Amino acid sequence: MRHVPSANTRDLHADFANDLADALLPQASYDVRKWLFVPPRYEEYRFILGTRGQHPLICVGVNPSTAAPDRLDRTLESVERIARHNGFDSFLMFNVSAQRATDPDLMDAELDEGLHRENLKAFDYLLSLSESPVVWAAWGAVIEKRPYLSACVRDLWQIGQKHRAVWVHCGPLSKRGHPHHPLYLKSDSPLTPFEWKSE
């Protein structure tokens, strides 16, 4: 399944607090006791998709594709396997950009500041779920697709500092120091400390 952006995200008036409140209500299409899906419907954007637990691994990719509760794509299946292999009881998928697009080349050419602000609220919320949050940097070289994405990563890092988050990566870094994307990693791949460098 592909997703080609069909609407300007600025026109959607995304609001993380409202979307989270909706996501905590019972849903007909999936079990909210197992899944955290914000917003709890298919939109042009997605803040969070993952499973609930006491010790989650927060994975940060570039932007969301078409995955949904009980309908994970290959990337999120890999994220879930690696999280469990490394001792986590759940995973939470987050992205540098909340704009949904199967092909990152179709992402907005310029940053939607409003959507980015709401995405930062979502990240702050995710980190608040753990006393010692662990964040898996997993955006890959795709981070270079748009100039604004590196600035977005720096904003995430600052929020991580506030929560004393531990950053990790999985697999080899690229020549330019970008962390490996989760797809094609072996299920038993270990997580190792991610040495922060300005993206």
- Residues 105-125 have pLDDT tens digits of 889 999 999 999 999 999 999
Percent of the chain residues topping a pLDDT of 70: 95
Please give the Cα distance from 83 to 189 (Å, whole number): 10
Domain ranges of the chain: 10-193
DSSP character string of 79-110: HHHHHHHTT-SEEEEEESS-B--SSGGGS-SS
Looking at residue 10, its pLDDT comes to 73
Please give the Cα distance from 172 to 180 (Å, whole number): 6
Average pLDDT, the chain: 93
Phi, psi of 36 (to 5 degrees): -115, 115
Looking at residue 4, its pLDDT comes to 59
Band (pLDDT 50/70/90 cuts) for residue 199 is: very low
Looking at residue 2, its pLDDT comes to 73
37-51 tens-digit pLDDT: 999 999 999 999 999
Band (pLDDT 50/70/90 cuts) for residue 5 is: low
Please give the Cα distance from 146 to 10 (Å, whole number): 18
17-71 tens-digit pLDDT: 999 999 999 999 999 999 999 999 999 999 999 999 999 999 999 999 999 999 9
131-172 tens-digit pLDDT: 999 999 999 999 999 999 999 999 999 999 999 999 999 999
Contact predicate 135/103, CB 8 Å = no
Looking at residue 152, its pLDDT comes to 97
Please give the Cα distance from 38 to 68 (Å, whole number): 10
pTM equals: 0.94
Band (pLDDT 50/70/90 cuts) for residue 103 is: confident
